[in-house]
Structures are given as C-alpha cells and as structure tokens.
C-alpha cells in the first residue's frame, strides 16, 4: 500500500532525456548543446556566446552559437520534458473513487434510531491490466521524441552550415 502512495509522488527529472540528445550531438557534430533552464550555468553559456561574437565567426563557432542560442531549439528541448512526463503519467494508476452514504431513518428499529452508513472505494480493474502496456507505449514515444529532437538539432546545424557558406 505504501508503494502505491509513493508512486503518486513521482516527479519528472529536469533533464528528461536531454543527456541522450547531448550525447548524440557530441557524437555526430562534435559540438555541445545547452538547454536553458534558468540555472547558473546559463550565464556561463551566455558569456561564451558573447566571447565568440567578439571576433569574426568561424563555421564551427556559427554552429556552436546556433546550438546554444536558438530559441526554437530551446522550445524543442522542452518537448522532451513533456514526453518524460507522459512516461511518468503512464506508469500511474488512475485515482480511485471514494463514496460515502449516510441514511437517517425516520422510524425506529427495535426502539433504536440508527444511521445506515456505507463506504466504498472503486478502482478500475482494467487500468491495472493495461498499465504495463501504457508504460511501454509511452516509453517508446519518449525514445521517438529524443530522436526527433536530435534530428532537429542536426537539421539546424546543417542549415547554419549552408547559410555560412552562402554568406
């Protein structure tokens, strides 16, 4: 019973699969991505971008700046958090329904006037059966979202490289 109560207190980690996306970016591009989440590290990233913009920008610096500073990419990273929350939600049972009923008779039974009280708790039985399937589907969708985000990063890097050569 205690484990069921703890399952209701699950939280979504802030990184939400971003580490996997970072590894993919490092492997494919040799560059670093940063998810701006209001941490002290964000100020360091902003300073690094400022220092790169002081001189003429190389191709590698243009790609790195785009990976660190693109707002559309930052919004895409947030979708990882949503997908991770869906995984957590899929692993939770639906809330039970509690019911209480009190009846006050207008007649006495054997000289006593007693209240009829009923309590019940309803839980969807099918919810228990499909829990593991729901979790597998949500996990698969989360993996798909990580790959989609990684693809968005690679596409941005490609666009930046093309724009750099055009300019």
Domain edges within the chain: 2-166
For 148, the 3-state DSSP assignment is: helix
pTM above 0.85, yes or no: no
Burial bucket for residue 15 (CB in 10 Å: 0-12, 13-18, 19+)? middle
Predicted local confidence at residue 136, as pLDDT? 94
For 79-138, write each residue's pLDDT tens digit: 998 999 999 999 988 888 898 888 877 766 676 777 778 888 888 888 888 899 999 999
Across 6-10, average pLDDT: 47
Predicted local confidence at residue 13, as pLDDT? 59
Predicted local confidence at residue 16, as pLDDT? 73
Distance CA 95, CA 131 (A): 13
Radius of gyration of the chain (CA): 27
Predicted local confidence at residue 8, as pLDDT? 46
For 23-52, write each residue's pLDDT tens digit: 989 999 888 888 888 888 888 888 888 888
Query: If pLDDT is split at 50, 70 and 90, which confidence band does 4 have?
Result: very low
For 57-87, write each residue's pLDDT tens digit: 899 999 999 999 899 999 999 899 899 999 9
């Amino acid at each position: 019973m205690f484990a069921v109560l703890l399952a209701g207190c699950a939280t979504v980690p802030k990184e939400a699969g971003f580490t996997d996306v970072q590894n993919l970016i490092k492997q494919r591009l040799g560059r670093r991505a940063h998810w701006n989440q209001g941490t002290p590290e964000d100020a360091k990233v902003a300073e690094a971008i400022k220092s790169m913009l002081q001189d003429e920008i190389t191709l590698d610096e243009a790609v790195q700046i785009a990976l660190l500073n693109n707002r559309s990419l930052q919004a895409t990273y947030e979708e990882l958090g949503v997908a991770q929350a869906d995984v957590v939600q899929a692993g939770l049972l639906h809330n039970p329904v509690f019911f209480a009923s009190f009846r006050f008779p207008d007649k006495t039974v054997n000289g006593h006037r007693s209240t009829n009280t009923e309590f019940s708790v309803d839980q969807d039985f099918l919810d228990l059966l499909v829990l593991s399937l729901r979790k597998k589907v949500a996990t698969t969708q989360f993996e798909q979202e990580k790959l989609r985000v990684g693809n968005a990063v690679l596409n941005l890097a490609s666009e930046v490289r093309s724009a750099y050569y055009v300019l």
